Amino acid sequence: MNEETLLKLQAYLDGELSAGERTEVETLLQGNAEARALLTELGNTAKTLAAYEAEIKLPETREFYWSKIQREIARQSAPSRVQGFSLAATLRRLLVPTGAFAAVAIAIMLSLPRGGGDGGDYFSASGDAVAFTYQNYKTGTTLIWFDFSSENDFSDASSGDTLN
C-alpha cells in the first residue's frame, strides 16, 4: 500500500472522507486483507488512546473559569495608575540622566592625556633656533629638539667640554 492509501484509511476511520471516497475505500477493503488488518489496527490504537486520555476537570464551572481568565487579561493590559507628584521621583528622573552624563564626562576627562599636551602648553624657540617638541604621555617625557647648523655652540670642537 502506498502512503496515499494509508492516509485515506486513517481518514476513513476518522470519518473525514467524502461519500465517493468512502465508497472507494470500502471497495478496497473488500478485496484487500492487508488493508482490513491495518484498519483494524488503527481502530484499536484510536480506542486505546481515547481510553487513556487524561480527563481534566475544572474546579469551577466553565463560565466562571473563563471569566477569571478574562478579568486577568483585562487587568494586565490596563494602563498603570497615574501617580501623584513626587519630589523624590522627579529628582530621580532628573538626577539619573544628569549623573550618567557627568560620569561620561569624567571618564572622558580621565582618559585624556594628563600633564598637559601641546594644547595647554606654551613653547617658543628664539633666535636662530628651529625646534620641535614631542611628548610621550605614557612615560611623562617631553623632548625639545633643536635643528642647529653645524656651526652651533654645541658642536664647537675648540670648546672644553665638546662632545665631538
**87: enclosing H helix or E strand:** helix 87-111
How many C-alpha atoms does 60 have within 13 Å on its Cβ side?
8
**48: enclosing H helix or E strand:** helix 33-52
38, 9 Cβ separation under 8 angstroms: yes
Minimum CB distance to other proteins, residue 91 (Å)? 29
Rounded CA separation 102/24 (Å): 82
**Nearer of residues 23 and 159 to other proteins, judged by Cβ:** 159
Q: Is residue 5 classed as helix, strand or coil in its secondary structure?
A: helix
**Cell 642647529 maps to which residue?**
148
**Nearer of residues 31 and 127 to other proteins, judged by Cβ:** 127
Binding site for other proteins (CB under 8 A): 114-116, 120-127, 129, 131, 133-134, 136, 138-148, 150, 152-157, 159-161, 163-164
Minimum CB distance to other proteins, residue 102 (Å)? 23
**Nearer of residues 89 and 130 to other proteins, judged by Cβ:** 130
Minimum CB distance to other proteins, residue 133 (Å)? 7
Cα 77 vs. chain centroid, distance in angstroms? 25
Rounded CA separation 40/152 (Å): 116
Rounded CA separation 145/151 (Å): 17
Minimum CB distance to other proteins, residue 118 (Å)? 9
Minimum CB distance to other proteins, residue 111 (Å)? 17
**Nearer of residues 47 and 114 to other proteins, judged by Cβ:** 114
